[in-house]
């Protein structure tokens, strides 16, 4: 079976066309990135503001976490059969809008939770020192709280990205776009190798996205850049006393 999987993935004809691997991969990546960006635009400003104010964040986190208890497939099914429908939605494919809404709702909890917790747990001493230097609230947030909270915030974004990529596979259950179409097609045609190939593609995609976000998180961390800058600018003693 592994040989059949390898042959399937290395056959160029399986990658081309409107029902090829390439099209489904582009659809899933487009869905994932779009859903993540929308969730960040909706969730990050609110969570960061509530974390800065230390007020109302617990309620917001608990409300968004309720979404984790609701099966994504149930939300997707309701949307696909409801007013959103399962019609073609531009480059996102059939049921693309329903899939996109469901993925955004799924991406919000880790983004909001990590952003709020990251700001709230910033060292109070650093915040008080900044206020003692005459910084106003906005300056404290941009110069102290956000840089210190950035690793936790980016971790939430990274978790959301991988979760959304993997979950986008279920869109195929309502005839939606993405790599899940390969898996459902394999089941329908009793081709186990095709099912395994689809699962391998989803797993490899998740690993690539995880590694990419880890690099982005590493180089986007302002505190890391500050430490590297200080290290490079520090004089190195040569030939000290023995």
pLDDT per residue over 132-180, tens digit each? 888 887 888 888 888 889 989 999 999 999 999 999 998 888 878 889 9
Q: How many CB atoms lie within 10 A of CB 210?
A: 14
pTM of this structure: 0.86
pLDDT at 237: 41
Q: State yes or no: pLDDT of 195 exceeds 90.
A: yes
Sign of the Cα pseudo-torsion (165, 166, 170, 172, in order): positive
Q: Are 35 and 98 in contact (CB under 8 A)?
A: no
Give the residue carrying structure tokens 């799924």: 106
Alpha-carbon gap, residue 50 to 57, rounded angstroms? 5
Domains identified in the chain and CATH numbers: 2-9+21-119+149-224 (1.10.3720.10)
Alpha-carbon gap, residue 189 to 35, rounded angstroms? 31
Give the residue carrying structure tokens 């020192």: 129
Query: Which range among 148-162, 192-206, 227-241 shows the weakest confidence by mean pLDDT?
Result: 227-241
Q: Are 43 and 111 in contact (CB under 8 A)?
A: yes
Confidence band (pLDDT; 50, 70, 90) for 193? very high
Confidence band (pLDDT; 50, 70, 90) for 38? very high
């Amino acid at each position: 079976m592994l040989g059949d999987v390898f042959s399937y993935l290395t056959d160029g004809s399986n990658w081309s066309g409107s029902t090829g691997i390439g099209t489904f991969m582009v659809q899933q990546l487009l869905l994932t990135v779009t859903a993540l960006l929308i969730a960040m635009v909706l969730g990050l400003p609110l969570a960061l503001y509530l974390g800065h104010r230390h007020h109302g964040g617990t309620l917001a986190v608990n409300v968004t976490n309720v979404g984790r208890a609701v099966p994504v497939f149930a939300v997707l099914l309701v949307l696909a059969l409801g007013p959103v429908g399962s019609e073609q939605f531009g480059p996102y494919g059939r049921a693309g809008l329903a899939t996109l809404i469901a993925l955004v709702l799924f991406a919000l909890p880790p983004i909001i939770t990590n952003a709020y917790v990251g700001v709230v747990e910033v060292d109070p001493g650093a915040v008080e020192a900044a206020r003692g230097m005459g910084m106003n609230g906005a300056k404290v947030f941009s110069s102290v709280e956000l840089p210190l909270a950035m690793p936790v915030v980016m971790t939430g974004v990274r978790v959301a990205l991988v979760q959304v990529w993997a979950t986008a596979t279920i869109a195929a259950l309502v005839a939606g776009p993405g790599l899940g179409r390969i898996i459902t097609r394999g089941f329908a045609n009793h081709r186990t190798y095709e099912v395994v190939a689809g699962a391998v593609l989803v797993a490899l995609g998740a690993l690539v996205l995880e590694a990419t976000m880890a690099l982005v998180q590493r180089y986007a961390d302002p505190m890391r850049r500050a430490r590297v800058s200080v290290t490079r600018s520090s004089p190195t003693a040569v030939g000290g006393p023995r």
